[in-house]
Amino acid sequence: MSAPATTDTATVTRAEYCAIACAEIFTGAGEIMASPMATLPLIGARLARLTTEPDLLVTDGEALLLDETPALGSVGSIEGWMPFRRVFDVVASGRRHVVMGANQLDRYGNQNLSAFGPLQQPKRQMFGVRGAPGNTINHATSYWVGKHTARVFCDEVDVVCGIGYDKVDPGNPAFRYFALPRVVTNLGVFDFEGPDHTMRARTLHPGVTAADVAENTSFEIAELESAGVTREPTEHELHLIRDVLDPKNRRDREVAL
């Protein structure tokens, strides 16, 4: 008896390793709102909800809380209302784990999605700080980077939007909810458990070498040489990714090889 083609574990793509790595961001999260801000973390959050984390709350990205866990782009039945104003209440409550993107990320986890260059006259304008300062100071924040390069993983970010571990004032209890559990990229899975809360490699995706990562990161990553390999997805996970959540394979478009 052979497995159906859609759950063939011998043909796992890079994007599928990224999808399960994004799902594991939410392991143990419980009954909180998962707020993924890109396609891969979105697949990850919904995959977690369909496997180990059924109590997660997820939205349509607009104002509806989803009852079912549908494919990308569909809504299905809903269970509640989450307009933007209520999102800020959830942020302040801490019952949320956001996965943001980053134009820049440094070794302590400082993140920029605002602009490049001087604050009052940037060279390139992006979104502004958005909800990054409030997210990072209030609740768990992880990052997704679809193309891991030294330009993103830089020595110093131009604008600190999401705060990093070196910004925490240990004398001020207002910082006590700060946590950056994970960074998932097209190359591997990282956290900030290196010396002095610097970026550390947890696993590299199959086919990625330590040299690949080092070449594409402008600072030294802790435990890079000893990092293991990202685990294989289960047949069930592959079925959910390929047939249920992302049948149009939008995931491949967001993951650089």
Partner 1 sequence: MTLDDVIGELRSGMTIGIGGWGSRRKPMVLVRALVRSDITDLTVVSYGGPDLGLLCSAGKVRKAYYGFVSLDSPPFYDPWFAHARTTGAIVAREMDEGMVKCGLEAAAARLPFLPTRAGLGSDVLTFWEGELKTIASPYPAADGRTETLVAMPALDLDAALVHLDLGDRRGNAAYTGVDPYFDDLFCAAAQRRYVTVDRLVDTEELVKTVPLQNLLLNRMMVDGVVEAPDGAHFTFAGEYGRDEAFQRHYAESAKDPQAWQQFVDTYLSGTEDDYRAAVRAFAKEKQA
Binding track over 38-67 against partner 1, x by CB under 8 A: ------------------------xxx---
The only residue of 21, 40, 58, 159 in contact with partner 1, by rule CB under 8 A? 159
**Distances in whole angstroms, Cα of residue 21 to Cα of each of 114, 164, 204:** 26, 22, 10
Q: How far apart are CA 55 and CA 122, in angstroms?
A: 42
Choose one: 16-24, 32-40, 155-163, 194-202; the region binding partner 1 (CB under 8 A). 155-163
- Answer yes or no whether residue 1 interacts with partner 1 by CB under 8 A: no
State how far the alpha carbon of 71 is from the alpha carbons of 27, 171, 233, 234, in Å: 20, 45, 19, 19
195 is an interface residue for partner 1 by CB under 8 A: no
Secondary-structure breakdown of the chain: helix, strand, coil percentages, each rounded to the nearest 5: 30, 20, 50
Ranges within 119-138 binding partner 1 (CB under 8 A)? 119-134, 136-138
Does position 70 interact with partner 1 (CB under 8 A)? The reply is: no
State which residue, 130 or 239, has the beta carbon closest to partner 1: 130
Q: Which stretches does DSSP call E strand in 106-247?
A: 111-112, 115-116, 124-125, 140-145, 183-185, 188-191, 200-204, 228-229
Q: Does 141 bind partner 1 (CB under 8 A)?
A: no
Nearer to partner 1, 122 or 214 (CB): 122
Q: With respect to partner 1, which residue has the nearer C-beta, 156 or 243?
A: 156
| 199 lines the binding site for partner 1 (CB under 8 A) | no
As measured in angstroms, the least distance from the Cβ of 127 to partner 1 is 5
Binding status of residue 80 toward partner 1 by CB under 8 A? no
Residues engaged in binding partner 1 (CB under 8 A): 62-64, 81, 83-85, 88, 91-92, 114-115, 117, 119-134, 136-138, 159-163, 167-169, 171-175, 177-178
